[in-house]
Amino acid sequence: MSETVVENPYGLGALIAQGDLVARTTLVILLVMSLLTWFIMITKFFDQRRLRIQSSEAEKEFWTSGSLTDALGKLKGQGNPFRALAETGKQAYEHHESNKTRLAGAIDTSEWITQALQRTADTIIGRMQSGLPVLASVGSTAPFVGLFGTVWGIYHALIAISLAGQASIDKVAGPVGEALIMTAIGLAVAVPAVLGYNVLLRRNKVVQERVSHFTHELHAYLISGAKMGLGMDKASIPVGRPAPAAR
């Protein structure tokens, strides 16, 4: 016994084909939000993965090098934040030492290096947070954009029903259900954005903590010649300071 397939005259296809300029614009906005969300999530995930690998390499390779110059050579990779921090610390130390007579009375070595490293660390952390505000904005606004499309669709559906002079269930349910698709699309855009934001924010905090730890350890080593690693033998960290007389 064959079943009769009834074609649904109301759906996303009908909404696109029969919708007015406002409805189609709302759909385009939601589509752009969705594409932007997935692009940011994918690119940020791989960026964070790269930073984690660079962090592990910095911890393993940097502190076991024979000199700071050799250590810098081992920190490879495009946009390596740990190399940027090490170069900043080295340059700040050498600049202060070469101008010690002029700077000693105004600012000491520790404060000079701290300020230089802090500026670089702030830049790195700011770059790591790029894109996350977009995910937060999409997650909070996409449902309201979809709701606007629904309200607009219901408004036009009620006008059409009023003009037709018929208010039967088949005349009401179809157009109203079609308009509710906008709300569903808005939620479908918002949920991945919110989840992606929370996951990436957590992963960002882990990398930021590693950057912060590396910054403090680098500062301590440039000043005292010792890494702050707890339970580690200072003699096992032979990286030389950039001073003329290396420790």
Token pair recorded at residue 217: 């350890």
Q: What's the whole-model pTM score? A: 0.73
CA–CA separation, 139 and 133 (whole Å): 10
In degrees rounded to 5, what are phi and psi of residue 191?
-60, -50
* Backbone φ/ψ region at 107: left (φ over 0), alpha (ψ -120 to 50), beta: beta
Surface-to-core class of residue 138, CB atoms within 10 Å of its CB (0-12 exposed, 13-18 middle, 19+ buried) = buried
Q: How far is CA 241 from the centre of its chain?
A: 34
Contact present, 87 and 130 (Cβ < 8 Å): no
Contact present, 113 and 25 (Cβ < 8 Å): no
> Could you say which residues of the chain have pLDDT below 50?
1, 6, 230-247
How confident is the model at residue 245, as a pLDDT? 36
Sign for the CA dihedral angle at 212, 218, 219, 224 comes to positive
Neighbour count for residue 30 (Cβ, 10 Å): 21
* Backbone φ/ψ region at 79: left (φ over 0), alpha (ψ -120 to 50), beta: left
How confident is the model at residue 104, as a pLDDT? 55
How confident is the model at residue 141, as a pLDDT? 94
In tens, the pLDDT along 23-76 reads 788 888 999 999 999 999 999 999 888 888 888 888 887 777 767 777 777 787
How confident is the model at residue 244, as a pLDDT? 38
How confident is the model at residue 138, as a pLDDT? 94
Token pair recorded at residue 17: 């084909």
How confident is the model at residue 2, as a pLDDT? 52
CA–CA separation, 131 and 54 (whole Å): 21
CA–CA separation, 180 and 149 (whole Å): 8
Contact present, 142 and 189 (Cβ < 8 Å): yes
Closest CA to 187 of 146, 152, 153, 149: 146
How confident is the model at residue 18, as a pLDDT? 62
The b-or-e profile of 94-132 (16+ CB within 10 A means b, else e) is: eebeeeeeeeeeeeebeebbbebbeebbeebeeebeebb
